[in-house]
Amino acid sequence: MSITQDMTNRTAVITGAGGGLGRAIGERLAASGATIIAMDLPQALTDLPEGWDGVALDLADKAAGDRMRALAAKLGPVSVVVANAGLVPPWRGITDLDAAEWDRVMAVNVWGVAQTLGSFADALAQSGHGSAIVMASINGFKAHPKQVLYTASKHAAIGVMRAAAMDLGSRGVRVNALAPGPIATEALISRIDARHAAGGVPREAALAALASETMLGRLATAQDVANLAHFLASDAAAGLTGHVYPVEAGLA
């Protein structure tokens, strides 16, 4: 039997698809023929590629689950769900945590992931080849100073993925996670620039320092992440579920 990575006639739902890694994944899947349903905050949906359907949604909204379940019922079979939306809070150490900030980040990064997977579970099963992909992080299996909240949220997202893979495997649905290292997205660059403005090193030096920590001597790219997402979404990865795949150019 021929194994293909063609996504023609398959629907992919991607949260946080308006920019960054979500957009890169959507573009990669679309290039392989998928129909893209892009979910994001309203302001992030203003310049979507032609042919994409935008759905305005805040995963922190208490009605988000109901809205996703209604969308799933409307769409019918869905081949791919990418739970990509997430928040990166300001760096804080364990003695400086903010309760309101904690609640919002956990609502999006953990509850939002679980809600997304649960809401589209039936639609994924109906497709006969459903693949769900959770956006984790290298912070999901290691920690860094002053990243307590983000690290906790990504550890939890990986736990959600593993449990969902067990719950949905009998229905033919695969669930995996991507764990990117530093990627030079607009979000990362803006954080580096903000640190520089507060007395940190310039952007070029900061990016070079990050690249020097990898085996390949470069940062992983959004395209690297998108290519692996495409593979996991396709029939070529039909035997893979319950795993976390680092995309970090070989961090030593």
Just list the catalytic residues: 150
Query: How many Å apart are CA 26 and CA 145, to the nearest integer?
Result: 32
Place of tokens 């960054």: 20
CA–CA distance, 50 with 233 (Å, rounded to integer) = 22
State how far Cα 87 lies from the chain centre: 11
* Rounded (10°) angle between helices 148-168 and 99-106: 30
12, 35 contact by CB (below 8 A): yes
* Spatial separation of the C-alpha atoms in residues 28 and 228, rounded to whole Å: 10
Helix 64-75 × helix 112-119 angle, to 10°: 30
In angstroms, rounded to a whole number, what is the distance separating the alpha carbons of residues 27 and 38? 11
